[in-house]
Structure 1
Amino acid sequence: MTSDLSRRDAVRDAALSAVPAALADLGTLVRIPSIAFPGFDRAEVQRSAEAVKGLLDGLGIFDAVQIKTATIPATGNPGMPAVLATRAARGGKPTILLYAHHDVQPVGDEALWETPPFEPTVRDGRLYGRGSADDKAGVMAHVGALRALVEALGADFDLGVNLFIEGEEEAGSASFAQFLRDNAEALRADVIVVADSGNWDAVTPALTVSLRGNARFTLTVRTLDHASHSGMFGGAVPDAMMATVKLLATLWDDDGAVAVEGLTERDAETPDYTEETLRSEAGLPEGVSPVGRGTILSRIWNKPSITVTGIDAPSVRNASNTLSPEISVVISARIAPGQSAKDAYAALEAHLRAHAPFGAALEFTDVDLGDAFLVDTSGAAVAQARDALAEGYGVDPVDIGVGGSIPFIADLVREFPAAQILVTGVEDPHARAHSPNESLHLDTFRRALVSEALLLESLDASTL
């Protein structure tokens, strides 16, 4: 019988050896344009799911590996294909659920990419391509860690392992809650690892302990029954663009901080984080000032933010001397932990209706809400995860908040209230997820894969 130390050493060595094959398989996944948004080819998402299923089948450890869909309650249409793999625990050992998603963001303006977005390219220690970091690297961290566990311990280890590789996270996870309800028993676990977040930097691991919620909606502003000549009527008739600009400006104060009554803030300390670091990581050039008040990380982690992410209006190319009768914008608000998305949306709608200029008519459509998340860090699995990260990275992990949102975590909490949820990831601050030239830091991926393998070994040796 091997000692606990030699067993752990064997897992670590196997994990390091698993990295090259995991990166090769990641390159194969990146080549599949699995965009789940409307208007894109659903067959590519199906092809991606089949590729993931093949990787999980190849492990030879699961009782079942299936490609499944759930119905989107709002429309009755099927959601995008997800991959569900299950393996029952043995000998009183715990079960872990590993989550990632295999769908990706649209490319955007392809001219902004230095290399083709679906052709994985390595340069300067990074792997470039859409989904290379978010979140096909999460998929391969799970697969690589399990390969290491099998290599070191054999296929008859006792840990229960379920995998849920979603196919529509970037498009809003419309069928996620229904998928959980449909497959609750198959997904039930003592520990849930969500590999869809980031790290403090390229060398320092992190556990994400807070996430902001979100409230996203389309606002349409109308002031006219039809377009009119701007020369004939301008100066007396308010056009929709004028009303929209004035209305949107009320959402922020002169410092750029959110100025909507009813949106709350969370009072919590944040680590040191300099303006210089913000400029480097966000691409904020000298001469452009940060917005908001308080520490920089409090603005990102613990306060609300509002962004106009889209607008339907006459383009510069099609501009004419016309008063626009109607303008539509997409408003994306991030909600501080501790406030429900429903309450935040109500505050936003009330503010906009109260400040509509010139009697403009407002319409709110396509409302999408997701609650914030705060982790209970008292569980044994959290301590085991911290130990695994420290060992895998060689640096103690830090607890971080994230300004972004993962709304489906609230669904996980609701469906599995007793589970310990760990939010981790393979991204570093320069990954540029969702942006052109998305990339994965290769050393970060290696450390993340080793850390997850060590966590699996620890859980397999415990009873929680």
Structure 2
Amino acid sequence: MTPDQIENAVAAEMPRAVDELKRLVAIPSVAFPGHPEEPVHAAAAMTEELLRSAGLPHVRQIPVEGSFPAVYGEAPAPDGAPTVLLYAHYDVQPAGDLALWRTPPFEPTLVDGRLYGRGAADDKSGVITHLLALRAFQGDFPVGIKVIIEGQEEYAGERLEAFVEQNPELFRADAIVVADCGNPTVGDAAVTTSLRGLAAFTIEVRSLTESVHSGSFGGAAPDALAALIRMLASLHDDNGDIRVPGLPRGVFLGTGPSEEEFRATAGVLDGVSLVGSGSLADRLWASYAITVTGIDAPTVQGAINAVQSVARARVTVRVPPAGDPDAAANDVVEHLRRAAPWGVQVSMTDRVLGSGYLADTGGSARTALNRAMERAFGRAPRDIGAGGSIPLVATLVKQFPAAEILLFGAEDDGAAIHAPNERLVLEELHRAATAEALFLADYGTI
């Protein structure tokens, strides 16, 4: 197929694909404990149906121990052609506080070319990007195709990773496209070449056998919540830089966002300063970051006058590509123990680790992708980093060190992934799918 034919084929399939994306977003496929499992299986079934419609001769669900099924499809490579593995995930983050959504999270709503709904961008857009690219070839693929759509990526844990290690031949490929990221802004073509890793854990503080009346005991009884607050505050200095020994600042060899762009995208309020030092690229993509993502404590509404006996917090550490997530978790926990006042009891549970990734950008697959993205977006892509983690990527690098891994997709930094009012710009989906289809055709000729 010529590039013009590929572009026309993707454009012709867009209306159908948008309707399918709406159907997929309407399924609340939250694979977190405590959420219904039936919608997750329904999303797996629909994903299987979609891959079959793309002309892949072999499609099936793969059971993954301790997790939800992955959906797998493949088509053999033409003689002498390389094989490309395509990755995305069909599970989504929980909706969170429904009052913060302008439209219902699982009722996909189209407004001015933007589709709103949980998972519209992260990462059901990745599923549809692959679908559009594959349909362009009507079953006559220029390269070998393998597709893996994961079912429990958002709830951190290394489940599919273990399956890959046990079944490497299913995933072996010359190039791997991970459609779980995107561009800094809409239309700003980019390839993600750096991923931070992850270390997350729950820290618990205990000070009393049970909570006691603050009038009778306050002033002498140690408050577990006050102790926890002091411990968490010790993680950063007044400038917002990390105070934990062993977590140095890194350097990103590329261009990050301007402060104005970042403030606008992050929604930083007027008069509120950014935190940390060094360039934004350094802070976001190459350095450690520590975030308190949740605290178990009495709510303001209905609070009683009591000194708290126990308090918990969920702490997430973003780890630069060269860092060791296990060591980072240990360093932070040890710092918190040292900062604990009054001899309170401190314990750590539910630790989750994920490694980072740094790409080699000089291969033939990246060269083909550069040409494809330049045609689809009207500009050559630039290298960017990502502060988030994709645990499977590190496993793929370990298992297939010769494979080129390419991270791009239809998301953008304004897509509000993991937040209320998540949205996907449909034109960005069109461009990303066109780029992927053009890449497959170009790579098949190398």
> Could you tell me the TM-score, scaled by structure 2's length?
0.97
1:104 to 2:98 alignment: no
Partners of 2:405 and 2:288 in 1: CA distance: 24
1:365 is displaced (CA, Å) by: 0.1
Shift of 1:158: 4.5
Find 1:67's aligned residue among 55, 58, 61: 61
Identity %: 45
- Aligned mates of 2:140, 2:229 — CA distance in 1: 63
Number of corresponding residues = 446
Q: Offset at 1:272? A: 5.2
Contact 2:252–2:281 at 8 Å: present in 1 too? no
Larger CA deviation: 287-296 vs 11-20: 11-20
Which residue number corresponds to residue 122 of structure 1?
A: 110
Give RMSD over aligned pairs.
Answer: 1.4
Maintained 8 Å contact 2:116/2:423: yes
Within 5 Å, which residues of 2 pair with 1:246-285? 246-271=230-255, 273-285=257-269
What is the alpha-carbon distance in structure 2 between the residues aligned to residue 39 and residue 245 of structure 1? 28
Matched residues in 2 for 1:39 and 1:61: separation?
35
Q: Which of 346, 353, 357 lines up with 2:337 in the alignment?
A: 353
Structure 2: which amino acid aligns with 1:149? F
Q: CA deviation at 1:71?
A: 1.1
Q: How does 1:141-220 map to 2 (within 5 A)?
A: 141-150=129-138, 155-220=139-204
Alpha-carbon distance in structure 1 between the residues aligned to 2:321 and 2:242:
15
Structure 2 CA distance, aligned partners of 1:366 and 1:408? 20
After TM superposition, list the pairs within 5 Å mapping 1:320-359 onto structure 2.
320-359=304-343
Q: Which residue of 2 aligns with 1:370?
A: 354
- Structure 1 residues without counterparts, runs of 5 or longer: 1-5, 73-78
Is residue 309–residue 329 contact of structure 1 (8 Å, CA) maintained in 2?
Answer: yes
What is the one-letter code of the residue matched to 2:39? E
- Determine whether 1:315 maps to 2:310: no
Counterpart contact for 2:110–2:116, Cα < 8 Å: yes
Residue 264 of structure 1 contacts residue 336 of structure 1 at CA under 8 Å; is this kept in 2?
no
Determine the C-alpha separation between the residues in 1 that align with 2:409 and 2:43: 20
CA offset at residue 206 of structure 1?
0.7
Q: Quick one: distance in 1 between partners of 2:130 and 2:18?
A: 12
Contact in 2 for aligned 1:266/1:338 (Cα 8 Å):
no
**What secondary structure does 1:149 align onto?**
coil
Deviations 1:397-448 (A, max 9, x none): 1100111111221111122222111111211121001111100011111111
CA spacing shift, 1:216–1:195, aligned 2, 3 Å: same
The code of the aligned residue for 1:119 comes to E
Note if 1:12 corresponds to 2:7. yes
CA distance in 1: counterparts of 2:433 and 2:299, whole angstroms: 46
* CA distance, structure 1, for counterparts of residue 157 and residue 150 of structure 2: 8
Kindly provide the amino acid, as one letter, of the partner of residue 71 in structure 1. Answer: E
Contact 1:168 / 1:174 at 8 angstroms: preserved in 2? no
- How far off its partner does 1:173 sit? 4.4
Quote the Cα distance in structure 2 between the aligned partners of 1:61 and 1:324: 58
**Contact residue 270 and residue 295 of structure 1 kept, 8 A:** no
Any idea what SS the aligned residue of 1:171 has? coil
| Structure 2: stretches of 5+ with no match in the other structure | none
Residues 270 and 298, structure 1, Cα contact 8 Å, conserved in 2: no
Q: Which moved more, 1:96-105 or 1:176-185?
A: 176-185
| Equivalent residues in 2 for 1:372-451, closer than 5 Å | 372-451=356-435
For residues 256 and 107 of structure 2, what CA distance do their matches in structure 1 show? 37
Q: TM-score, normalised by structure 1?
A: 0.93
Distance 1:385 1:97 in 2: 14
Q: Report the Cα distance in structure 2 between the residues aligned to 1:254 and 1:217, rounded to whole angstroms.
A: 24
Is the partner of 2:2 in helix, strand or coil? helix
Counterpart of 2:121 (choices 124, 128, 133) is: 133
SS in 1 for 2:369: helix
Which residue of the other structure, out of 247, 263, 278, is the alignment partner of 1:294? Answer: 278
What CA deviation, in whole Å up to 9, does each residue of 1:126-175 have, x standing for no partner?
A: 1111111111111000000011122xxxx344511000000101112441
Q: Is the 8 A contact 1:264 1:339 kept in 2?
A: no
Q: Take 2:268 and 2:106, find their aligned partners in 1: how far apart are those partners?
A: 27
Q: Match of 1:16, as an amino acid?
A: A
How far did residue 368 of structure 1 move? 0.3
Distance in 1 (CA, whole Å) between partners of 2:246 and 2:330 is: 9
In 1, Cα distance between the equivalents of 2:378 and 2:338? 54
Query: CA 1:100 to 1:272, structure 2 compared with 1: closer, same or farther past 3 Å?
Result: closer
How many angstroms does 1:90 deviate by? Answer: 2.4
Q: Which residue of 2 aligns with 1:455?
A: 439
